[in-house]
Amino acid sequence: MNAEELNKYFNKNVLPLYPDMEDKPGKRVMLKVDSGPGRTDLPMLAQMQLKGFYLVPGVSNTTAKTQETDQNYGPFKISFRGNIRVLAAARHQQKKQMLLKDLALLVFGGTDSITGVVLEDSFNKAFLQSGCLSAWNKCGAVPLTRKPLEDEGIRHEAIINADGTTLSDMDPEGLKLMEIERENRVHCKFLKLLGYDSEHL
Per-residue pLDDT tens for 124-171? 989 989 888 888 888 888 888 888 777 777 776 777 777 777 766 667
pLDDT confidence tier of residue 13, bands split at 50, 70 and 90: very high
pLDDT of residue 81: 96
pLDDT of 169 reads 66
Rg (CA), the chain: 25
3 state SS for 40-59: CCHHHHHHHHHHCEEEEECC
How does pLDDT run across 73-112, given as a tens digit for each residue? 888 999 999 999 999 999 999 999 999 999 999 999 999 9
CB 151 within 8 A of CB 138: no
pLDDT for the residue 170: 67
Per-residue model confidence as pLDDT tens digits over 23-48? 999 999 988 887 777 888 889 999 99
Of 4 and 104, more confident: 104
Question: For position 117, what pLDDT does the model report?
Answer: 97
pLDDT (mean) for 64-70: 78
Say what the pTM is: 0.57
Say what the pLDDT of residue 180 is: 85
Burial class (CB in 10 A: 0-12, 13-18, 19+), 85: exposed
